[in-house]
Structure 1
């Protein structure tokens, strides 16, 4: 064979081998660097290290520090991590960045096709940029529910059945009526755990995002929340203003409130708070009057990843592998976004002692109604600005028009490029 023809054959063979799926035996052993806002599951990490003969270097950063540091390393192009985990509230910023994440739909089309087929749209949409490129994948489904105190349910509506609780709390009008009834009972309990979580849920009722085409949008639903919040303050409807108040956390054991609006991940907190107390087993799950999702984690592979195929093998294990997602749910109580895995768990019927024998996965599955994902890269800050002015108005320190002006000024100050009318 002629030397030139031999050279071409070698080049072609090398190209074909590189295009195949990752094979730990065919490439140099590597190190995966991961930035994450919480502690990575050590068992998963160690199993992957052993299987692929690699080292995983994990850096834990809170969401704010992670974004600051990621901005810095992307500018210098030094010490850029291979994999980044992001909470839902900051995912859009990095998904829309041209310099951050690899286009997974181009690099791994078959896997992303499976992902889009088997995961709900509100999960897949958050990791897809405006050009339709999948930049990050989510694996949790933080379905919003109404946790309720069973003993108070029996006193208020005569039953602790979740369907009857859902019916009795199915509108604002019914919630205010229940609050009047609770005050007449004079049992020392409020209707709702904390007003901030209620307000966050109500804001997810919006049909439009906070920002459209670089313009601030204040929806009708957001405006409704001014007077709703004021009435809730006047009627003393909640045990605490914010979820960090001790009067809220102790309420799960002391029965000082009836309803708590939070996603799936709150169940683990309730279990920890009520363990070995009278509150254990005294909580149930009902459908909320506003279907919503709140929270979750998305994972992206940076464009600077030293070995993107190896990085994808890890991400695929964590986010797409059905057996891993099933086992993760069994160990940690996660609610998988993979619909096939969720159906498997629901079919097994798993009653929980924390919920007095109710099956949490069946309850979560029942509450899972598909809604458009309206999150933007601005939501974390804008939500906080809006919650601040809601309180200013609700407690009577600031008129509504002035509170709204304060909100717009804060948004414009934080994001001068946005159009704010």
Structure 2
């Protein structure tokens, strides 16, 4: 999972009023195994037999082992087994904070390696160019993602453009708001009108000034100036190019906007995922909260009291938080069967099921388009919430991951966050940031 996503989970006990499935980036701290089907069926040698299964495709048999940190893979395995009863899917789930190390150890030793393994957005760049991942492009994988959201398919590609991993979902974000609070301070609860009102940071700053003035300083437009980090993080150029640290000039504009937000009382100054942050989301003391679509677990919905209470508007630029990808171990003896599983999760049938069951936004654009005018979510009443998410994420740049991106982004987040708190100049923030990058990554050239 993405680094910030992990923070949601590790601090959630202090702010979650109603626990639920973390659809899209969920994890479990259970170290368990889930088997679907006869555990003796096919052993670990998969075969493809002639004939048809209940899905009308070539019957499959054999066994697959999948490693994950993500609880929802169990349902994925069950759905695949239902269509392919001759296939046993053994899902082994490990705590998220241990998973990456355990997986890397297994891959390096070559012992007890799964056929398929999950990679989280926060560290996929460290694996994507490795020898451990099967080239899915060579198997026809590019066709599987031809209708995908551009950024989602790009994150599964190595630096040479080969498809190495596929996600079954996207993790779009938007501004969530309580409708009655929006009406009081913004004059409307219409998501399209609010989206236009906050379509730029300049508009947000001016609107935030008004909200603060009208409320006597008791209400704030957004939670924290740091919200800009997540919203702009993947709308900027990669941090390292040809071995050299590159700071996109856009970060200066972002930082200067953050200083203006803080200076003009636009934000509530609530640290990300703090108890106050969660309380503000639920009591409406902040008008807009930037939230990923999968984060409904943060809403207090005891006795369905939050149903129909919220709306979602677009942010100035599209953003996403997290993402889970699946790749095939390059030395797996079950390559063909594993690819059939990857093919299934990339398809519309599974992603439609996933959307309906969990509200997990699809990675496949065809599923978005099929549901734009019909899909509803209890929190958001009659709003067609796929529309703002789809319009935002489909326009995001398709940037391939690398081994530096997430770690360097976290260092920028820290340096800029300190700078906002201390009202530091942009030059001072850059100097502190460069020092951290140079100390951590001596192989990267830093001017």
Give the TM-score category using the shorter length. 0.7 to 0.9
* Helix, strand or coil at the partner of 1:148: strand
Q: Which has the larger radius of gyration?
A: 1
1:23 is the counterpart of 2:49: yes
1:287 aligns with 2:300: no
1:149 is displaced (CA, Å) by 2.8
Q: Structure 2 vs 1, CA of residues 324 and 116 (structure 1 numbering), >3 Å: closer, same or farther?
A: closer
Asked if 1:32 corresponds to 2:60, the answer is no
Instruction: Indicate conservation of the 8 Å contact 1:210/1:379, yes or no.
Output: yes
User: What residue ranges of structure 1 are gaps of 5+ in the alignment?
Assistant: 1-19
- Go from structure 1 to structure 2 and tell me whether the alpha carbon gap of 1:185 and 1:274 turns closer, same or farther (over 3 Å shift): farther
Residue aligned with 2:75, SS: helix
SS in 2 for 1:54: strand
Q: RMSD across aligned C-alpha pairs, in angstroms?
A: 2.7
CA distance in 2, matches of 1:86, 1:32: 17
CA-to-aligned-CA distance 1:248-274 (integer Å, 9 cap, x gap):
1111221111112233223x235x434
CA distance in 2, matches of 1:360, 1:257: 21
* 2:404 matched residue in structure 1: 378
- Alignment-derived partner of residue 65 in structure 1: 98
2:47–2:61: 8 Å Cα contact kept in structure 1? Answer: no
Match for residue 200 of structure 1 among 222, 226, 230? 230
Q: Bigger CA drift: 299-308 or 354-363? A: 354-363
Counterpart pick for 1:301 among 316, 328, 347: 328
Higher mean C-alpha displacement, 50-59 vs 395-404 = 395-404
Residues 1:121 and 1:156: Cα distance change in structure 2 (over 3 Å): same
Kindly indicate which of the two structures has a greater share of residues assigned to helix: 1
- Does the residue aligned with 2:362 lie in a helix, a strand or coil? coil
Partner in structure 1 of residue 23 of structure 2: none
Aligned position for 1:116: 145
**Compared CA separation, residues 28 and 263, structure 1 to 2 (3 A):** closer
C-alpha contact 1:142 1:265 (8 A) present in aligned 2: yes
Change (3 A) 1:303 1:369: closer
The alpha-carbon deviation at position 336 of structure 1 amounts to 0.9
TM-score w.r.t. length of structure 2: 0.80
Counting only pairs closer than 5 Å after superposition, residues 177-216 of structure 1 correspond to structure 2 as 177-186=206-215, 188-206=218-236, 208-216=237-245
Deviation at 1:234, TM superposition (A): 2.6
The alpha-carbon distance between structure 1 residues 28 and 79, as it changes in their structure 2 partners (threshold 3 A), is farther
Please give the alpha-carbon distance, in whole angstroms, between the structure 2 residues aligned to 1:87 and 1:65.
13
TM-score if structure 1 supplies the norm length? 0.84
Residues 15-414 of structure 1: pairs in structure 2 closer than 5 A: 22-23=48-49, 30-49=62-81, 51-62=85-96, 65-97=98-130, 99-106=131-138, 108-109=139-140, 112-186=141-215, 188-206=218-236, 208-266=237-295, 268-270=296-298, 272-276=299-303, 279-318=306-345, 320-347=346-373, 349-374=374-399, 375-396=401-422, 400-414=426-440
